[in-house]
A and B are shown apart, each in its own frame.
Chain A
Amino acid sequence: MKDETLLAKWLNNELEGAELEAFMASPDYATYNKIKEYSAQLTVPEADMDALYKRINTNKNKPKVRKLNPWLPRIAAMLVMALGATYFFYTNNTTTQLAVAGERTSFLLPDNSEVTLNAASEADYKTWNWKNNRKLQLDGEAYFKVAKGQTFDVVTAMGKVTVVGTQFNVKARGSRFDVTCFEGKVRVTSNNTTTLLTPGKSIAFEDGKLIMMPTEENNKPGWLTYEVKFHAEKFANIISELERQYNVDIQLNTQQPDKAFTGAIPMNNINDALEIIKTTYQLKSQKTGNKIILSVE
């Protein structure tokens, strides 16, 4: 007989024979018996079961308020976060087009506007919502053939060029900022002044100072056909352009000439190009590999 259930057996009238007799002989038996006797007389406060049934009946036919699966809000939260991250990534995803020194890159924007990047230039833009936000960041020089549509912004460190649908060239190199309009109208904002360019008109700034530019006769910028025209361009700028176009390193072993350069320089024949520079500034050149040294004659 297991001691730990003995009282339960007795309470349930299962105890008999010697075990029962032994238990009845124990000193605590009288109390146990009284507990058994009096606990049988216990009652619990009555509850109105009919009322309870009625309440259940009215409640059970109500449309259920569904409890959410505890995972649902978590899954939903994760989805929202994933979507948010995707959205953030997608809307902030910037496309970068690059033309390294000595090379050019042509590409199409989402609205089929054409951009040709001159050597050593970079353009950044966001494809998301391009139609309503035609904006492009330019560092260097590029020629644009913009499809008709919303305004088209070219943002550079020195100013902003705003157009609707047109062809134009933007150059933002160092401290030089040139914009030439070839078709349509181009609005240039730089140094808090806004200039409207019509076809053939150009505007240029050097260190923020306005430079008067002659009327462009061609319908495309010269650099597209490797014949670059300069107008009152600093010597240093010419050298930089040559370095970019021919991907060479040019060293000047003499004082920088003050005279600005006006004229055309071919960008597909380095010898011809150097010849023009040498003649204009009375210099001689020495070429070793990628390095060109210019010195006084």
Chain B
Amino acid sequence: MKNNPPTGICEEITFSTFFKSHAKSLRNYLYYKFGNEEQAQDVAQEAFIKLWENCASVPPEKAKSFLYTVANNTTLNQIAHQKVVLEYNRKSPGNNTDSQSPEFLMEEEQFKTKLQKAIDKLTEAQRTAFLLHRIDGKKYHEIAEILGISVKAVEKRLHGALLELRKEIDNLR
């Protein structure tokens, strides 16, 4: 055994810091992709273990892209895509619900339900890009990195996603 002190990702502290800053995004991304919490956890776990196993050959600046590449390449015995269960933040800032009329509140609830249904009908590509932006607040270039596509392609997907959502909501009217 070599006794060289571990460097980069192999260092426990670096790995743990890296995990804290990226694990949640990865897991969320996988959840949007699979619509299954368990699978999202499993694949995220697998990706981090692969990263650890290859820590000596993956420089820290490449670790994120390595992580997502592994996650994207992990094809599970795909259980059919399940519904992505999303909830609305109960205490939305700036929305003082108390001051709204009951009609408005009802309309608002209806719209929220329609939006959830519409999101579920998006393609996997559109849904992951859209939710990464709306829920995780990812910048377009970050989404591009995660999905391994260009920023332009991200913009096209989001454009398409919005278009589909609007049509679907109009149809549900």
Contacts and interface: CB of A to CB of B under 8 A. Distances in A.
B-side binding surface: helix, strand, loop or mixed? helix
Interface string B84-97: 01111100100000
A19 to B, nearest CB: 14
Interface string B110-144: 01100100010000000000110111000010000
A31 B164 CA distance: 12
B170 A31 contact: yes
A49 B170 CA distance: 38
A35 interface: yes
A129 interface: no
B169 to A, nearest CB: 6
B159 interface: yes
Contacts of A32: 162, 166
B156 interface: yes
B131 A42 contact: yes
A83 interface: no
B31 interface: yes
B147 interface: no
Contacts of A4: 155-156, 159-160
A-side binding surface: helix, strand, loop or mixed? helix
Given A38-B111, A41-B89, A43-B86, A52 B156 contact: no
B87 A8 contact: no
A55 interface: yes
Q: Bin chain B's interface residue count.
A: 35 or more
B115 A39 contact: yes
A6 interface: yes
Contact of A42 (B20, B88, B152, B155): B88
B86 A11 contact: no
A5 B153 CA distance: 9
B23 interface: yes
A77 B119 CA distance: 50
A288 interface: no
Interface residues of A, number: 30
Interface in A47-99: 47, 49, 52-53, 55-56, 59-60, 64
B16 interface: yes
B53 A64 contact: yes
A9 interface: yes
Contact of B169 (A6, A35, A43, A60): A35
A5 B89 contact: no
A53 B49 contact: no
B166 A35 contact: yes
Nearest to B136: A44
B27 A11 contact: no
Contacts of A43: 86-89, 135
A257 interface: no
A8 B151 CA distance: 11
A17 interface: no
B140 to A, nearest CB: 6
B72 interface: no
Interface in B57-80: none
Contacts of A12: 133, 140
Nearest to B130: A39
A106 B3 CA distance: 70
15 contacts: A8-B162, A38-B88, A38-B115, A39-B119, A39-B130, A42-B88, A44-B31, A47-B24, A52-B23, A52-B44, A55-B45, A59-B45, A60-B48, A60-B52, A60-B53
Given A5-B159, A42-B88, A49-B20, 10 more contacts: A8-B157, A12-B133, A40-B134, A44-B28, A44-B135, A52-B27, A56-B49, A56-B52, A59-B49, A64-B53
